Each structure stands twice: as structure tokens, then as C-alpha cells.
Amino acid sequence: MKKLIYTIVFIGSFFLGTAQQTPAGPQLEAISIDGATAHLGNGKVIENALIMFEGGKLTFVGSAMTKIARRGTVIKGDGKHVYPGFIAPNKSLGLVEVDAVRATNDQDEIGEMIPHVRSLIAYNAESQVVESMRPNGVLLGQITPKGGRISGTSSIVQFDAWNWEDAAIKVDDGIHMNWPTNFRKGRWWMGEPRGFLPNKEYAKQLEGVKHFFKNAAAYDNVGNSELNPAFAAMQGLFDGSKKLFINANDEKEIIDAITTAKENGIKDIVLVGGYHAYKVTDFLKKNNIPVLLQHTQSLPVFDDEDYDLPYKLPKLLTDAGILVALQNGDAANFQTRNLPFYAGQVVAQGLEKEKALQLITGNSAKILGIDDAYGTLEIGKSATLIISKGDALDMKGNKLTHAFIDGRNISLETHQTELWKRYMGKYDGK
């Protein structure tokens, strides 16, 4: 018993002793960034740019040669690059701190069909993992529940806040579901052959989803004595106030998922994963379906596929006219900080660098429905941006000097940077 108590006290003191940096206060003075190269997030670049913002909003984005008075604090941007803050969709950031410590894992609730479970109220704004996103320029995220068939409802937050109320920028934006797989991996421990086997339960699972959709569409709480929370949460999918994010990868899964959702009156659908989406691009274009692709740094799933298929998928879909953004998929939360480098990797596959940038800025904002305020550097939008010494899509160049969320100059210090400085001093003296 004493050992258990000591362990709990140690874990608690560890987290308390390494708390997140204090969130920045509101922007009180205008800021002008003069002379940097501005990457707007919509495919455009302004060399020798002038960017000014006040009250958390961009007030000028244009050439530094424009005869206009610089306002407030002036940041010299010579040789530097300015980008919109990067956006991380479909992640359980702030819901899991340490995978091996069950008490810090709040990403999955009990049940298969639980659209009414809201991730936002469980979001930990003081997460060290969330804090570690900022030095690489990842400033916004869609906090997404995991597990089950219908996992729950996500919300979109900014990564510098006191609590989840302060963090939220779009509440209950979408419902996330995992479509039944047409194939599954063989369970070798049960004597099944290794590799992929047909999922004999697929038809039954598909019928279960259709039944739930139909009941949710028919649900009307008027006159009912008891509220059905799951069906009530689904109503936003039918009136267009929420998006349905469907995780599906195989061609049949993709077609079945989108067709079933459309037939049941669901208006706004986003495909998540989409590993074989390049095989059904005409279908996706016809139904106006955007795709949140898995990150690029992964191996092909099947032996007969191109070795570089995961690397070039974003370009294949972009060239086909599909709206594409990148998400970190099933990789660990902490790896989300590598989001800009996943985008940079697509450049090596032939995609223009500014289009690659859109995969984590402008395109992400459009898919998540926050492009009215975030994702690009345009007058009137939120001053959520970063300043880097070099190319932010390259590990060598991604060295931030400043980061702003809604005009607030946020800290770039984390537990990792503190350790880096501590041990750099130790070994530099050797």
C-alpha cells in the first residue's frame, strides 16, 4: 500500500513540477513584421513582405515596399519566413498524456455507438504533449475521441490556454466513426494464417451502421419523455451543423461509407485515412468529398504496392482535384509535432512547396470549417502565425523565433527545450 501511495505521489509531483508555460495575455499593442518572406497558406508567396496585426487580427498583408506606417512593435524579418500556424486534425492531443499510465488516457469511452461523447470537456490545456507542438509551429488541433464504431464528437482548439473553455475555437465540429473493415489481419495466436483475411462479419457490421443511421435520422425528441443522447447528438449531421469524419481505407469501404452516409441524409462528409482513395478519385469528386490523409512517413500496406505509395498519395489526390490535408493518423500524439516535415516530404514527390504547405494550413482549415478565421494570412483573419529562421517544412530550417495565436505572443519554451538548454550547457563545457 505504501509503495502505491509513493508511486502516485511521484507521478503527481512529476506533472506538477513540469507544468505548461503560462498562457500569453491578449495582444495590447500592434505588431509589424517587416521584410520577411510570407507564405500565405493559399499557394501565394510575398517576398519582402510587411505583415501587421492588431487586436488579434491581421490588418495588413502585402509588400514591404508599400508606403504605409509601421505600427507598434516592429520585428525585423530579413532572411526569415512567416507562415500561418499549422493545423493538426484528427488527434487525441490533450486526452492522453502518458500511454502507459491509464489515469492519463481519456481518449476512449465504453460503447460502440457514442456520438454524444464530447472530447472537449476532457481536454487538458496544460498537457506537456500539447505544449511540445508549438516550437515546430503546430498551433491548432482538432481534438478527436478514438475507439468504437462511432467514437464521439470532436472540437477544435488553439494550443495556448488556461483551460478547455479558453482553448476552444470551434465547439463540437464533427462526429468521428471507424467504418467496418472489408479485410482484417489474421489472428496468428488463434491459429489463423498471417496476412489479410476477408472480414466475414462485414455485412452484419454494415447493417448495424445503416440501422443506427436510420434510427438517428428518424429520431424526434418532441413529445418524447426521455432524451436519447446518442440520437440527439447525431442531429447535427442531418441539418449540416456538424461534419461526419469517416475512417476508411479500402475502395469498397470508402464507397460503402460515403454511399451509406449520403443515403441517410448526412450532408457534410470527410474521408479520413483514405489509403486507396487514389483508386476512386472520380467517385470522391462526384460526391465532393475532401480527404484527411495519413501521414507520409509510413510503409506500404500490401506487398505488391509501390514502395513510395504513402509518400506520393497527397500528390496523386491533389493532381486529381481532391481537397487534401494531412493528419497524423494512428501515430503517437507526440509525433504530431512532425506535421510540417510530413508536408515537406511531399515536395520531394513533385508537389510544389506552397501546395505542400496548404496540406497543413489552408486546406486543413477548409476541411475543418475554420477557414473564415484561420489557415491563411489574409486581412481580417486571426493573427495566428509563426516566424521561422528558415524553411519551416524542413527540419534544418524549422527554427522558430516567434509564434502568435490570435495575436498573442506565445512561449516557445517546453519541457524538452528546458532539458536541451540544461544539457547543452553541461556538454558545451567539456
Give the amino acid at 161. A
Q: What's the Cα-to-Cα distance from 361 to each of 15, 92, 195, 265, 296, rounded to whole Å? A: 32, 19, 37, 30, 16
**What is the pLDDT, as a whole number, of residue 221?**
63
- The per-residue DSSP string of 31-78 comes to EEEEEEEEE-SSS-EEEEEEEEEETTEEEEEEETTS-----SEEEE-T
Q: Is the pLDDT score of 246 beyond 60?
A: yes
Among 275, 214, 267, 272, CA closest to 241: 267
- Burial degree of 22 (CB within 10 A; 0-12, 13-18, 19+): exposed
> Does domain 22-85+376-412 correspond to CATH entry 3.30.420.40?
no
**Mean pLDDT value across the chain:** 89
Total-model pTM: 0.91
State the cell numbers at 68. Answer: 504605409
The pLDDT value given to residue 429: 60
Model pLDDT for residues 92-126, shown as the tens digit of each residue:
998 888 777 777 777 778 889 999 999 999 999 99
| pLDDT reported for residue 223 | 58
* pLDDT of the residue at 8: 44
- Which position has the higher pLDDT, 3 or 161? 161
Indicate if the pLDDT at residue 272 is higher than 80: yes
CATH number of the domain at 86-374, please? 3.20.20.140
- Whether residue 325 is predicted with pLDDT greater than 70 in this model: the reply is yes
10: pLDDT strictly greater than 90: no
Give tens-digit pLDDT for 51-84: 999 999 999 999 999 999 999 999 999 999 999 9
Nearest to 97 by CA among 136, 122, 128: 128
Could you give the percent of the chain with pLDDT greater than 70? 92
Q: What's the CA gap between 220 and 239, in Å, rounded?
A: 13
| pLDDT reported for residue 211 | 93
What is the model's pLDDT at position 7? Answer: 45
- Confidence grade of residue 301 (pLDDT, cut at 50, 70, 90): confident
The predicted-structure confidence for 200-224, as pLDDT tens digits, reads as follows 888 898 999 999 999 999 887 665 6
Of 141 and 224, the one with more pLDDT: 141
- Indicate if the pLDDT at residue 14 is higher than 60: no
Mean pLDDT, range 37-60, rounded to an integer: 97
Looking at residue 19, its pLDDT comes to 55
* Stronger pLDDT, 402 or 223, i.e. the higher one: 402
The residue ranges of every structural domain in the chain are: 22-85+376-412, 86-374
Of all residues in the chain, the percent with pLDDT exceeding 90 is 72
Pair type for strands 31-39 and 81-84: parallel
pLDDT higher than 80, residue 401: yes
List, in order, residues 6 or more apart from 52 with CB less than 8 Å away: 30, 31, 32, 33, 58, 59, 60, 70, 71, 72
Segment 176-190, tens digit of pLDDT: 999 998 877 767 677
**In this structure, what are the phi and psi dihedrals at residue 96, rounded to the nearest 5 degrees?**
-135, 130
